[in-house]
Structure 1
Amino acid sequence: MEAYIELLRSMIQTPSFSREEGPVALLVRNFLTSKRIAFHEKGWNTWARNKFWDDKKPVILLNSHIDTVKPVKNWTKDPFSAEVDGDVLIGLGSNDAGASLVTLMAVFVHFYQEENLPYNLIFAASAEEEISGNGGMVSLVEEFGDVKLAIVGEPTQMQMAIAEKGLMVLDCTAHGRAGHAARNEGENALYKAVDDINILRQYKFEKVSDVLGEVKLSVTQINAGYQHNVVPDNCTFVVDVRTNEFYSNQEACDEIQGLIQSEVVARSFKLNSSGIPVTHPIVQRGIALGLSYYGSPTTSDQAVMPFPSIKIGPGDSARSHTADEYILVSEIENGFEVYCSLLEKLEI
């Protein structure tokens, strides 16, 4: 795995913020070229097919993303240094999701020249995952054709995330009437917003998932007023909504609008909850290997995949988007073994 660890270090040393992934996409493409593997390009997305592709066989997609968030302010190391200290590799994107990407690439290369695979493999290094952008996986789905299963690489400690919550962001506006703060004038939009926020804070959606739990509402931003002596006539606030499989984002939005006075506008409905049955062969294969399964509270490119998928990868989600993000080299090595074991006797 040494070559893949070095590729990951090169990726960390090359900033790859969402929509700015070009230089890292080039690293991926150069690596595939060095392995004599032909690939396709679309924007900063790169994908390749196994050498002995057979249209009669089912297709498995191996996918992870090349973009990162921007570093938070309290890093104690250089986020782009790719410093190695024993088993620890530190750097922005090391855990989320560079380790998964290079490990899945190693798996793809491992199986690339096998003539008698019971399925076809596509390896895809996608862009814009961190912003759910239209230039990422959304643009690739039509290129892949009929995919029977996707293995999405994200840090899960190599346990199986068989479902993940959907994500919806709501922009809410409480409307009032301006007036002088010193007199009993106006209608304070800020107070209206606070009342609505209190309703959302206490509200519980009725349907609770065995795997994903309850729908979660979090008010994360608020803004009102422009002068201390003027009663604000508008107050805006933002609600982060994480849905389970019992509610589409549209349904959750409609329910929230019925609870509060404020105007509610969803930025998008596209990132719905996703999941795969416990009875699916990939989950059963993992269970046979001693892997556990769970429902993930975080969202990935699974949300835009119209085919069954499972999320699994080296690293720990708790390290993602944090200062001094790191991955263990041993986690990558173990990840390679687990991925290969999942695929070697898989029948779909």
Structure 2
Amino acid sequence: MANAIDPVELTRRLIACPSVTPADAGAMAVIAEALEGIGFTVHRFAAGGPPDGPIENLFAIRGSGGPHFAFAGHSDVVPPGEGWHSDPFIPEIRGELLHGRGAVDMKGAIAAFIAAAARIEQQTGTISLIITGDEEGPATHGTVALIDWMDARGIRPDLCLVGEPTSTHRLGDMVKIGRRGSVNIWIENAGTQGHVAYPHLAANPIPALVKALDALAALHLDDGNAWFQPSNLEITTVDVGNGATNLIPAVARARINIRFNDEHSGADLIELVRRTVAEHAPVATVRGVVSGESFITPPGELSALISAAIGKVTGLTPEFSTTGGTSDARFLSRICPVVEFGLCNATMHKLDEAVAVPDLHALADIYEEIARAALASPTR
């Protein structure tokens, strides 16, 4: 393409936008300007409203026909916190490291992919970018809304690469081919408030809730499988809100989170928790929300071409993994094969988040190799 793009400079421009979810702070405008300059048609729209929105979303497309290769990412970042050595939204290079909130997660990857796309003289096929401002937040008005927007227009990629920071020790050492699902469950057990000296006039909700939680903690969900580690249930809070020493509380509450592999569904796990709680606290209520189902993209065409590109640029053979938390790949996996690959994740969400400047250039090289190979793959 006519306009070369420096991934480091573009990353700096994006870091300078304090786009803490749900704020955009100009990040989408920076992305749109760069993409329009290399021939993409850019569509932007806002979705949702307070308190979780509005959320800025962007879909950009260049070319026509198949194969259709998509890159997905997010421009929003988590709050920086206190204690940085420099302003988290004033990008600063110290040595070989570019510091700033979002450098790794994941403004650097967005910049690297745009830089890669700028080098490709596209003769056939389609490249698109699916960028949201709601990955670090509730994720209700971001990628889900983008998928709905695409569906309404008959747009469906053949392959999708998500630029999450998957590398651990060196750029290219790990690729994510799936993720465990996540479900949050709230348990509330009601009793009867009363004086501790007169327990026969009250009903303490705590003992039954504790027994239920003990039973939940003892559940053996599975042993994992070829691609997934075992599912795990964690009790994340227990609350009674009781500030008095002589009061039996009226209600006791708890929350659990389950990270689960593809041997379960979120709905089945909520029902399992409901049955287990009912055995020990019959009047308790159980409410569950599935943040995302597990997914797996078995090793195949997409993971192979990503591995080949990484090997060509870095000499590494990446490990295929499903570890870590959730990402927006959980939504995109519903429409096409999805693999995640990006920068080293050691400093994501931390103070003084930083990316190695050579890694930004190398990632752009890898993304270029991936995109060229994807565009050359057989049309579906």
Change in 2 beyond 3 A, CA 1:147/1:32:
closer
Preserved CA contact (<8 Å) 1:212 1:297: no
Change in 2 beyond 3 A, CA 1:222/1:32:
same
Note if 1:327 corresponds to 2:355: yes
Change in 2 beyond 3 A, CA 1:220/1:74:
farther
Q: Distance in 2 between matches of 1:190 and 1:13?
A: 49
Please state whether the residue corresponding to 2:303 is helix, strand or coil. helix
Shift of 1:13: 2.0
- The one-letter amino acid paired with 2:237 is Q
- The one-letter amino acid paired with 1:337 is D
Counterpart residue number, 1:7: 10
Matches of residues 107-256 of structure 1 in structure 2 within 5 Å?
A: 107-111=116-120, 113-116=121-124, 119-144=125-150, 145-157=155-167, 158=172, 159-185=174-200, 186-206=202-222, 208-228=224-244, 229-256=246-273
- The one-letter amino acid paired with 2:182 is L
Counterpart residue number, 2:325: 298
Deviation string 1:52-95 (CA, Å, 9 cap, x unpaired) is 322xx131211110011112344444222222102111111111
Counterpart residue number, 1:30: 33
Deviation string 1:321-347 (CA, Å, 9 cap, x unpaired) is 222221111221221222222333342
Q: Distance in 1 between matches of 2:370 and 2:349?
A: 28
Q: Give 1:257's match in structure 2, choosing from 255, 258, 274.
A: 274
Change in 2 beyond 3 A, CA 1:210/1:281:
same
Q: Distance in 1 between matches of 2:218 and 2:355?
A: 38
Q: Distance in 1 between matches of 2:298 and 2:7?
A: 32
- The one-letter amino acid paired with 1:292 is E
Matches of residues 329-344 of structure 1 in structure 2 within 5 Å?
A: 329-344=357-372
Preserved CA contact (<8 Å) 2:70 2:127: yes
Counterpart residue number, 1:345: 373
Q: Distance in 2 between matches of 1:216 and 1:241?
A: 6
Greater mean deviation of Cα atoms: 146-155 or 17-26: 17-26
Identical positions, percent = 20
Q: Distance in 1 between matches of 2:295 and 2:227?
A: 11
Give the alignment's Cα RMSD to 1 decimal. Answer: 2.1
Q: Distance in 2 between matches of 1:77 and 1:265?
A: 43
Shift of 1:36: 4.8
- Aligned residue-pair number: 339
Q: TM-score, normalization: structure 2?
A: 0.83
Q: TM-score, normalization: structure 1?
A: 0.90
Counterpart residue number, 2:314: none
Preserved CA contact (<8 Å) 2:102 2:353: yes
Change in 2 beyond 3 A, CA 1:276/1:342:
same
Shift of 1:273: 0.8
Change in 2 beyond 3 A, CA 1:70/1:28:
same
Counterpart residue number, 1:315: 344
